[in-house]
Structure 1
Amino acid sequence: MSKLDLTSDPISEQAAYWFALLLEGNESAEDRKEFARWIDQDPRHKDAFSQIDRLWSGSSSLDFSPANPIGRRAVLGGSLAAILLAAGWGTMRYRPFADMTTDTGQRREVTLPGNNGRSILASNTAISFVSDRGVPGVEIHSGEAWFEHNADRGDFFVVAKGGKSWSAGGRFDVAAYNNDVTVIAQTNSLQLELSGAGYSVPQGNALSYRGAEVVKPSYRIDVASALAWREGQLIFMGEPLENVVAILERWQQGKIMVLGDHLKQRPVTLVVDLGRLHTVLPVLAKVLQVDVSQFTEYLTVIRDV
């Protein structure tokens, strides 16, 4: 059986939800019946849940009948963190070819090659220094980096997931998470090369692409809010909760699960101090009037009350 991957597999994410609910021990009789129905829907459901249970308790046997109130696991001396660490949460991914990296929650300033300026790396970021026909550049393997490029040093470029952003001088930002990339032109215009085509990103605009396709052509953006992480803040103005959670996960250990499509789309206006991330979820619970259940430092579930 393949390695458990809760970060990208919706079945494993559902299994994590059910395990967390049953671990808490407050499930209702209807919850147990719904859980049994979910298990019976697909053999992969049982396999995913069994993987989590084995990692937690070392047991490979479990009664999935609706009459069995599973309740709280008897082996609380174990740690759900083992499950989540095995899935890659809370750990910096191994990047043997990266020249510069940051850990979870860390920001790091670096000098660009050839005295071309400087860069600030966001949390969980990995970059390498590269060149193209003698022109210096940076490749972002994953994460986000802000650049201040000295115009008098010539052209400079940043590669991310198959796209190449060219700068003639100024400040800009490139964020690459999974297969999605967003380029922000702060004080200059940028030229993006993607799959043989060229795209212009004017000052104060952003552009997003996925793979070989532009998914959101050049659009105006609140640059100060988008880049506030450089100053130790995250600013959300009417942002869907699902997006807020995805950004929070980049800066702290663990997985935050939001249950329900309606809740995922609930707008959030919030200013977050990166030095006080531990206060964010309690604030969200109060402001949005939702239930925030933290099962360990590695797993939090947000659901409607």
Structure 2
Amino acid sequence: MSNIHQFSSKETIQAEASEWISAIDRGLSNEEQKQLNEWVIRSKAHQETLFTLAKLWDEMGVLNELSSLFPDKHTQLNKPSPWFGLAIAASFIAVLLLGYVVLTHSSSWPSSYADETKFSKIYRTKVGEQATYLLPDNTIVQLNTNTKLEVAYTAERRQLILSRGEGRFNVAKDASRPFTVAAGDKSFTALGTVFNVQRNSASDLELVVTEGKVMIADPSVQVYAKDFTKLKSAVDSSDSVRALQANIVLSGEKALIKESITNPIKPLSIDDVQRDLAWQHGMIIFNGEPLSEALHEISRYTATRFELVDPELRELKVAGVFKAGDIAGLLDTLHANLAIEHQRMGEHIVSLRLGKKS
């Protein structure tokens, strides 16, 4: 790890603190508690940010857990937060916004089950835009930057086509109508689940399952209610799965499809899942990727493209948390941490080179 350049900024600390709050909420392992202790004592800014966010979190379990982990902070946690009123106001505004979304989209929703079975719609996000949609069956779809998703519901199936981009699917249970997302050369059928699909090209795809399990198959495979019960209890070695030449991906696992071939399924750590799904919180996390790969990922969220003048910059390994689309913040961080200078070559092109050594 010594050759990985770690970036630090206020946004990075806030993002890391948010991840710890989320981890505390679900429950820390002994190893994670040790790591949290080390993180907290590393910087006063870490402590202050963690406890400030904890007081805004709406789960008392987080506050109680922090009180037990850091008894000297107990009194601080019990003091009314100066942000408490603003947090309530923000929640109230969120409810109003949700009501607005419901009202503005309700005209396109089915008014009966008969209408719902004929539901179809196309959802799009622009470059740098993210959006969340509630489908008629209460499935929640969150779309990342530059994404196009086609939805078609019938009486027997819920079929979606991810033409480009990335989406997270929190699928409403309905055993009578299987839920399938087709993307490029593969289809992903939910078997009671929450999952994320990223389409890099028709033959290069990524699947992360965070709840339940998903079956990867050829797009020509049609899953109906009569197949669903059998598949829901299936594993990779099941005859029904082998007959379809399919793969089963479980919660906490990731599948990479390269050139239309599904690579061996691999388990993910909690950190891996948080990194892969950081986009859902408007963030991008790197942990030792080459700078060229990091810049390619950042370019998904903006029209800006990067040119690396010095070849050695391509393999420079970086780690840190960035706000998606914040090019100015990225360039400032690269300059402050790695002495990388930039020059704008046009409205959407930035040239990067190593700064002169003093």
TM-score range, shorter chain: 0.5 to 0.7
Aligned residue in 1 for 2:290: 240
Question: Which whole-Å CA distance do the structure 2 matches of 1:236 and 1:132 have between them?
Answer: 41
AA in 2 matched with 1:157: T
Q: 2:333 aligns with which of 271, 283, 291?
A: 283
- Percent identity over the alignment is 21
Distance 1:258 1:161 in 2: 31
TM-superposed CA distance for 1:289, in Å, is 2.8
1:156 matched to 2:179? yes
Pair 1:185-2:206 in alignment: no
Is residue 164 of structure 2 the alignment partner of residue 142 of structure 1?
yes
Matching residue of 1:17: none
Distance 2:126 2:211 in 1: 28
Secondary structure of the corresponding residue to residue 138 of structure 1: strand
Higher relative contact order (CA 8 A, sep 6+): 2
Question: Structure 1 residues 275, 242: closer, same or farther in 2, change over 3 A?
Answer: closer
Contact 2:160 2:181 in 1 (8 A): yes
* CA drift at 1:303: 3.0
* Alignment-derived partner of residue 207 in structure 1: 255
Q: Secondary structure at the match of 1:197?
A: coil
Matches within 5 A, 1:54-65: none
Query: Aligned partners of 2:313, 2:212: CA distance in 1, in Å?
Result: 37
1:172 to 2:195 alignment: yes
TM-score normalised according to structure 1 size: 0.62
Matched position secondary structure for 1:217: coil
Unmatched tracts of structure 2, length 5 or more:
1-119, 220-243
Distance in 2 separating the partners of 1:189 and 1:203? 6
Change (3 A) 1:264 1:194: farther
How far does the alpha carbon of each residue in 1:70-124 deviate from its partner, in whole angstroms, 9 at most, with x for none? xxxxxxxxxxxxxxxxxxxxxxxxxxx9811111111111123x51511111111
SS in 1 for 2:216: strand
- The CA deviation at 1:260 is 5.5
Candidates 147, 156, 179, aligned match of 1:125:
147
Partner Cα distance (1:253, 1:139) in 2: 25
Query: Is 1:227 equivalent to 2:277 in the alignment?
Result: yes
CA RMSD of aligned residues (A): 2.4
CA distance in 1, matches of 2:245, 2:213: 17
Higher strand share: 1
1:57-96 alignment, distance < 5 Å? none
Report how many residues are paired.
207
Counterpart amino acid of residue 283 in structure 2: Q
Q: Which stretches of structure 1, 4 residues or more, deviate above 6 A after TM superposition?
A: none
Listed as ranges, the gaps of 5+ residues in structure 1 are 1-96
TM-score, structure 2 length as denominator? 0.53
User: Structure 2: how far apart are the matches of 1:108 and 1:138?
Assistant: 17
Decide which structure has greater helix share. Answer: 2
Residue 249 of structure 1 corresponds to which residue in structure 2? 299
Matched residue, 1:108:
131
